[in-house]
């Protein structure tokens, strides 16, 4: 894994030491001797992670971190404070400033590299999601960064802890941010994590006859819990366990005895990041749906049809099964817009789409082709069966008036249908649609409000 790391320290010897460690692991390294230069580099250069000293001339590391986190362009760069300060209050202050971790000098090489790799991996995932979500914002969708202070709603935290006494202390420390559910059985906790919605999992490594890293690994391997933040509580001196846990994909760790303020700060950081990434994923899903869905009717659009029809056609050909297509056109739809307005026309289109969904089967593909034309593709369906389905929809359209809700006007509507089937000569998806379109043309020419199948 390669990444660009910015080392910020006013002591040249410290910079050289960290630079040598990172270069040995094939990271690209930038350096800065003060906070102002660090901020300038982050503004003008892509940086994946910052190793930041606190005691520096000009502005200290706490202020640098606060400025980075308050700037939308740099807020998502992980920051690890590397300092001689070792008091719990210093760690808490750094975490509250937005730091992702707080390492005390002299830094254990193995632990440092494991932490860097872990944060770079998490940032890479977040970056990919954020790039995709930018498209959604450009299309006028919700800004996913709004309301992400970590306290927007009560958090749901799952605590996996083998001792009742430590359970009580952790629950008390986190009661201000949410509800903590404690479970002593790791396997029961795994089931609970997979079955319900949680904001994070805390795994306390205090079990006498169970390896807590096994639970961390299982949580990362399940689809439902793959992105769930995991915080490991470990004993001082358990560096090997921490390093292995970071390699397995845990998000953060805290050493026992647990400082309540530090635990609270770390939990808030993880919850905030999870909610941000959840919104990114939702934004990406909405963007995908927007790209392939007709916004008025909720049916798939022509872009989706063009891509999906080929797959259905090829699969039907490979299985030797028929594939039928039906193009539907609402008769004299222009008169609805002319006589009652486009709002009424939109209501007719939406109701027509509902009737299509009520008629076709779950395996069928229903799309808005454009304007008042719709396409239904029916896998494993011969022309006779397709005709029955089309006739059912035609009768439903004719027999039930369309009601314009804004005025209460009842509109008598009909529709014309053109059918084609791959078993009757269509050799490509384009030919299948062309034959259905020709059949629709004949239905219109023969008086509308009818189903016409393509003649082989």
CB 173 within 8 A of CB 166: no
- Per-residue confidence (pLDDT) for residue 147, from 0 to 100: 47
In this structure, the dihedral spanned by the alpha carbons of residues 302, 304, 309 and 312, taken in order and rounded to 10 degrees, is -150
- Per-residue confidence (pLDDT) for residue 131, from 0 to 100: 62
CB 32 within 8 A of CB 50: no
User: How far is the C-alpha of 100 from the C-alpha of 115, rounded, in Å?
Assistant: 10
- Per-residue confidence (pLDDT) for residue 150, from 0 to 100: 44
**CA-wise closest residue to 14 among 112, 101, 86, 89:** 112
3-state SS, the chain, equals: CCCEEEEECCCHHHHHHHHHHHHHCCCEEEEECCHHHHHHHHHHCCCCEEEECCCCCCCCHHHHHHHHHHCCCCCCCCEEEEECCCCHHHHHHHHHCCCCEEEECCCCHHHHHHHHHHHHHHHHHHHHHHHHHHHHHHCCCCCCCCCCCCCCCCEEEEEECCCHHHHHHHHHHHCCCEEEEEECCHHHHHHHHHHCCCCEEEEECCCCCCCHHHHHHHHHHCHHHCCCCEEEEEECCCHHHHHHHHHHCCCEEEEECCCHHHHHHHHHHHHHHHHHHHHHHHHHHHHHHHHHECCCCCCECHHHHHHHHHHHHHHHHHHCCCEEEEEEEECCHHHHHHHHCHHHHHHHHHHHHHHHHHHCCCCCEEEEEECCEEEEEEECCCHHHHHHHHHHHHHHHHHCCEEECCCCEEECCCEEEEEEEHHHCCCCHHHHHHHHHHHHHHHHHCCCCCEEECCC
255 token code pair: 């050493």
- Per-residue confidence (pLDDT) for residue 340, from 0 to 100: 92
CB 166 within 8 A of CB 204: yes
Active site residues: 372
- Per-residue confidence (pLDDT) for residue 107, from 0 to 100: 84
User: How far is the C-alpha of 319 from the C-alpha of 392, rounded, in Å?
Assistant: 28
> Domains along the chain?
1-107 (3.40.50.2300), 142-287 (3.40.50.2300), 302-453 (3.30.70.270)
User: How far is the C-alpha of 28 from the C-alpha of 183, rounded, in Å?
Assistant: 43
User: How far is the C-alpha of 441 from the C-alpha of 452, rounded, in Å?
Assistant: 9
Number of neighbours of residue 191 by Cβ within 10 angstroms = 11
CB 418 within 8 A of CB 327: yes
Per-residue tens of pLDDT for the chain, all 456 residues: 578 999 999 999 999 999 999 999 999 999 999 999 999 999 999 999 999 999 999 999 999 999 999 998 898 899 999 988 878 888 899 999 999 988 888 888 888 898 899 898 888 777 766 665 565 455 444 554 454 444 467 999 999 999 999 999 999 999 999 999 999 999 999 999 999 999 999 999 999 899 999 999 999 999 899 999 999 999 988 989 999 999 999 999 999 999 999 999 999 989 988 988 888 777 767 766 777 889 899 999 998 898 889 989 998 998 889 999 999 999 999 999 999 999 999 999 999 999 999 998 888 999 999 999 999 999 999 999 999 999 999 999 999 999 988 888 999 999 999 999 998 888 899 999 999 999 999 999 999 999 999 865
4 token code pair: 């660009």
φ, ψ (nearest 5 deg) of residue 391: -65, -35
- Per-residue confidence (pLDDT) for residue 282, from 0 to 100: 78
């Amino acid at each position: 894994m390669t990444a660009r790391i910015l080392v910020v320290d006013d002591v040249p010897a410290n910079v050289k030491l960290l630079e040598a460690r990172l270069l040995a692991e094939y990271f690209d390294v930038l350096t800065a001797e003060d906070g102002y230069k660090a901020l300038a580099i982050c503004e003008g250069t892509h940086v994946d992670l910052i190793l930041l000293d606190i005691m520096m001339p000009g502005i200290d590391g706490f202020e640098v971190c606060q400025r980075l986190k308050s700037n939308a362009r740099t807020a998502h760069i992980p920051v690890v404070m590397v300092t001689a300060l070792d008091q719990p209050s210093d760690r808490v202050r750094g975490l509250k400033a937005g730091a992702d971790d707080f390492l005390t000098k002299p830094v254990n090489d193995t632990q440092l590299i494991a932490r860097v790799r872990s944060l770079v991996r998490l940032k890479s995932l977040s970056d990919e999601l954020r790039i995709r979500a930018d498209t959604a914002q450009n299309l006028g969708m919700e800004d996913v960064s709004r309301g992400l202070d970590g306290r927007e709603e009560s958090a749901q935290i799952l605590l996996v802890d083998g001792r009742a006494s430590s359970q009580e202390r952790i629950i008390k420390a986190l009661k201000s941010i949410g509800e903590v559910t404690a479970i002593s059985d790791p396997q029961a906790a795994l089931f609970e994590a997979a079955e319900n919605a949680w904001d994070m999992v805390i795994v306390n490594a205090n079990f006498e006859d169970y390896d807590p890293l096994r639970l961390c690994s299982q949580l990362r391997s399940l689809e439902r819990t793959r992105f769930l933040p995991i915080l490991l509580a470990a004993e001082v001196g358990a560096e090997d366990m921490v390093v292995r846990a970071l390699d397995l994909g845990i998000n953060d760790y805290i050493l026992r005895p647990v400082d309540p303020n530090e635990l609270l700060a770390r939990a808030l950081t993880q919850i905030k990041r999870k909610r941000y990434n959840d919104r990114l994923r939702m934004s990406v899903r909405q963007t995908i749906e927007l790209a392939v869905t007709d916004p008025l009717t909720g049916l798939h659009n022509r872009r989706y049809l063009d891509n999906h029809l080929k797959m259905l056609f090829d699969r039907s050909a490979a299985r030797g099964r028929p594939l039928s297509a039906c193009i539907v056109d609402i008769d004299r739809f222009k008169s609805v817009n002319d006589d009652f307005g486009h709002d009424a026309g939109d209501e007719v289109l939406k109701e027509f789409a509902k009737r299509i969904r009520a008629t076709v089967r779950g395996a069928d593909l229903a799309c808005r082709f454009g304007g008042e034309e719709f396409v239904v593709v029916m896998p494993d369906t011969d022309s006779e069966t397709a005709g029955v389905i089309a006739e059912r929809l035609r009768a439903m359209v004719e027999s039930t008036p369309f009601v314009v809700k804004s005025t209460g006007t009842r509109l008598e509507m009909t529709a014309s249908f053109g059918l084609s089937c791959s078993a009757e000569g269509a050799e490509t998806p384009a030919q299948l649609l062309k034959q259905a379109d020709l059949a629709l043309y004949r239905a219109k020419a023969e008086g509308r409000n009818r189903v016409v199948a393509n003649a082989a």
